[in-house]
């Protein structure tokens, strides 16, 4: 921590919350050459928040405290997360320093625009910590999907039968959000056609919000036609049926009425449409099953013309954990119980492998 940082948060607070020692002093008698020992065996140095002062020092090689000296002595990449008043951010000196640092290959996370602690409004706000973490994770993720376009469906669908009611399901969109984040980190251009969800999708993903399966289908067809995605991942829990009729007025309960019959009609199968269209090189679907998981997934692989079905027990819907198996035409790979984020990483790695395989096959058939 710099002296200025210690004015905002006490080093003891940092030490207690992180469970790690806090280094502050270039001349600490307990540490021999702390700026040299701190820079050893590091993969990345992140300064968050990075003030105009530390940015100026980093740009000009000034080393007059422990943080700036460590930066000068570093052997690894540096990521700065600027945080300062909008006028300080716009000042010609800061603009020059940022240009210099970018030229030196220094990475930046933020800043954001918005209201500032001093009351001003504009650029210079520290990026949200979760987004800084996303940038750090992206730095460490090999860009295995670089240049690839990934189209996804996500969340539940909502099929209304009157202005206040409808048929939906318990899909939270969590697994889709985790897959989208992993795909973005891997360098893909991601578009998500999503039913109503509360989870946040990654900033860098384009989101097309929809309600009904029919709208989801139209949005997917438009994306296929306009952008020719390389891969499609159908994560949405698409309602198989929708009410045949929609009542403009709220359906009233009649006296002595014990049942309500709603006639349902079949929705289009989006995954099957995409699979059979042959537009995407790789098509991945999901199957939430209660019985005969592997057998049902194999059937789905064929009838939906998919390259892989990720099959999980129906109990995974809405939960933070998942336990899945990957079914392809080569067989079944059973995955252990994992978080949805871990499973998402594995799906993206497998997608990259399947895309590579398809490219080789296409090359071999055309030669
Ligand atoms: O047929 P089933 O619902 O079990 O298949 C699940 C897979 O098919 C999921 O990937 C889901 O997104 C997709 N699906 C679809 N359109 C439907 C029904 C399912 O895209 N109408």
Query: Both 174 and 308 in a single domain?
Result: yes
Residue 320 has pLDDT above 80, yes or no: no
Percentage, residues of the chain above pLDDT 90: 81
Is 256 contained in some domain? no
Which ligand 1 atom is nearest residue 239's CA? 21
- Supply φ then ψ for residue 78, to 5 degrees: -125, 135
**Alpha helices (runs of H) in 19-51, residue ranges in sequence order:** 34-39
Contact present, 51 and 79 (Cβ < 8 Å):
no
pLDDT for 29 equals: 79
Question: Could you tell me the residue range of the domain that residue 176 belongs to?
Answer: 141-245+261-366
Cα(8) to centroid of ligand 1, in Å?
51
Kindly report the CA angle at 238 between 234 and 243, in degrees rounded to 5? 160
Most confident of 36-50, 122-136, 205-219, 306-320: 205-219
pLDDT digits (tens, 9 = 90+) for 202-234: 989 999 999 999 999 999 999 999 999 999 999
Mutational pocket test of ligand 1: of 176, 234, 312, 327, the residue with most ligand atoms within 8 Å of the beta carbon: 234
Where residue 159 sits, what CATH number does that domain have?
3.40.50.10300
| Cβ burial 199-228 (10 Å sphere, 16+ → b, else e) | eebbebbebbebbbbbbbbebbbebbeeee
Cα of 291 from ligand 1 centre, angstroms: 17
Q: Which of 87, 107, 139 is the last residue of a domain?
A: 139
- Measured in residues, the chain has a length of 367
- Over residues 127-132, mean pLDDT: 93
In a domain, 80, yes or no: yes
Which residue has its alpha carbon closest to ligand 1 atom 7?
286
Mean of all residue pLDDT scores within the chain: 94
Distance CA(177)–CA(183), nearest Å, equals: 10
Dihedral-angle region of residue 31 (phi above 0 means left; psi in -120 to 50 means alpha; beta otherwise):
beta
For residue 206, what are its two tokens?
């384009």
* Residue 312 pLDDT grade (very low, low, confident, very high; cuts 50, 70, 90): confident
Query: 98-112, 306-320, 342-356: which has the minimum mean pLDDT?
Result: 306-320
* Residue found under tokens 């039968």: 161
- Give, as one character, the DSSP assignment of residue 291: S
Q: What count of other Cβ atoms lies within 10 Å of the Cβ of residue 86?
A: 18
- Going along the chain, which residue ranges are E strands? 45-50, 78-82, 107-108, 112-115, 121-125, 149-154, 159-162, 165-167, 189-194, 206-209, 231-234, 241-243, 264-266, 282-289, 308-313, 321-328, 331-339
Please work out whether the CB of residue 176 comes within 6 Å of at least one atom of ligand 1.
no
Q: Please check whether residues 89 and 184 belong to one and the same domain.
A: no
What are the contacts of 241-247 at 24+ separation with CB within 8 A?
241/159, 241/167, 241/265, 241/266, 241/267, 242/159, 242/167, 242/212, 242/213, 242/214, 242/267, 243/159, 243/160, 243/161, 243/166, 243/167, 245/161, 246/160, 246/161, 246/162, 247/161, 247/162
Residue 250 falls inside a structural domain: no
Name the domain boundary from 122, 139, 156. 139
If asked whether residues 120 and 219 sit together in one domain, one would say no
Contact 249, 162 (CB under 8 A): yes
The answer to the question of residue 255 being in a domain is: no
pLDDT tier, 33 (very low <50, low <70, confident <90, very high otherwise): confident
Question: Considering the domain boundaries, does residue 123 fall inside one?
Answer: yes
Q: Final residue of a domain: which of 119, 139, 159? A: 139
d(CA 27, ligand 1 centre) in Å: 63
Residue 330 pLDDT? 92
The answer as to whether 286 is a domain residue is yes
CA angle 317, 322, 326 (to 5 degrees): 105
Residue 254 falls inside a structural domain: no
The predicted structure's pLDDT at residue 126: 95
pTM: 0.81
Tell whether 99 and 161 lie within a shared domain: no
Residues 152-179 pLDDT 10s: 999 999 999 999 999 999 999 999 999 9
Q: Is 270 in the pocket of ligand 1 (CB under 6 A)?
A: yes
Q: What is the average per-residue pLDDT within 286-295? A: 88
Give 186-202 pLDDT, tens digit per residue. 999 999 999 999 999 99
Q: So what's the pLDDT on residue 266?
A: 97
Examine the residue annotation and report whether 76 is marked as an active-site residue of this protein.
no
What CATH number did the domain enclosing 54 receive? Answer: 3.40.50.1950
Same domain? For 115 and 157 the reply is no
Q: What average pLDDT does range 122-127 have in this prediction?
A: 94
pLDDT at 349 over 90: yes
What's CA 117's distance to the chain center, in Å? 29
How many whole angstroms separate alpha carbon 359 and alpha carbon 155? 30
Q: Is 234 in the pocket of ligand 1 (CB under 6 A)?
A: yes
pLDDT for residue 73: 94
**pLDDT for the residue numbered 335:** 87
* % pLDDT > 70, the chain: 99
How many domains is the chain partitioned into structurally?
2
Contact 281, 357 (CB under 8 A): no
> Taking each helix axis from N to C terminus, what angle separates 66-73 and 52-60, rounded to the nearest 10 degrees?
40
What pLDDT does 318 receive?
Answer: 65
Q: Which two tokens stand for residue 57?
A: 């020092």
Closest atom of ligand 1 relative to the 270 alpha carbon: 20
Let me know whether 153 and 131 are in one domain.
no
Query: What are 64-83's pLDDT values in tens digits?
Result: 999 999 999 999 999 999 99
Catalytic residue among 76, 118, 280, 303: 118
């Amino acid at each position: 921590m710099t002296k200025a940082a210690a004015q905002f948060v006490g080093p003891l607070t940092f030490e207690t919350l992180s469970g790690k020692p806090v280094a502050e002093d270039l001349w600490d008698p307990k540490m021999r050459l702390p700026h040299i020992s701190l820079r050893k065996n590091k993969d990345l140095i992140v300064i968050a928040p990075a003030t105009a002062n530390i940015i100026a020092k980093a740009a000009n090689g000034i080393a007059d405290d422990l943080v700036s000296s460590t930066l000068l002595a570093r052997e690894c990449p540096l990521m700065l997360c600027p945080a300062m008043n909008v006028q300080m951010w716009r000042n010609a000196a800061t603009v020059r320093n940022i240009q210099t640092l970018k030229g030196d290959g220094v990475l930046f996370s933020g800043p954001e625009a918005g209201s500032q602690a001093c009351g001003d409004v504009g650029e210079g706000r520290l990026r949200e910590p979760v987004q800084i973490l996303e940038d750090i994770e992206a730095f460490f993720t090999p860009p295995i999907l670089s240049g690839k376009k990934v189209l996804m469906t996500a969340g539940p669908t909502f099929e209304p039968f009157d202005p206040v009611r409808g048929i939906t399901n318990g899909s939270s969109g969590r697994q889709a959000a985790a897959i989208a984040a992993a795909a973005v980190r891997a360098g893909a251009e991601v578009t998500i056609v999503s039913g109503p969800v509360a989870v946040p999708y990654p900033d860098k993903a384009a989101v097309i919000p929809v309600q009904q399966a029919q709208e989801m289908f139209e949005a997917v067809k438009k994306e296929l036609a306009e952008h020719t995605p390389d891969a499609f991942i159908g994560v949405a829990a698409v309602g198989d049926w929708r009410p045949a009729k929609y009542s403009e007025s709220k359906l009233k309960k009649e006296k002595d009425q014990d049942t309500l019959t709603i006639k349902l009609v079949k929705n289009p199968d989006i995954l099957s449409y995409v699979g059979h269209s042959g537009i995407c090189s790789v098509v991945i679907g999901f199957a939430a099953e209660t019985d005969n998981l592997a057998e049902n997934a194999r059937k789905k692989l064929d009838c939906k013309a998919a390259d892989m079905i990720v099959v999980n027990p129906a109990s995974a819907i809405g939960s933070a954990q998942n336990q899945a198996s990957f079914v392809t035409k080569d067989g079944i790979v059973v995955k252990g119980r994992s978080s949805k984020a871990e499973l998402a990483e594995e799906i993206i790695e497998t997608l990259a492998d399947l895309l590579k395989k398809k490219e080789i096959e296409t090359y071999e058939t055309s030669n």
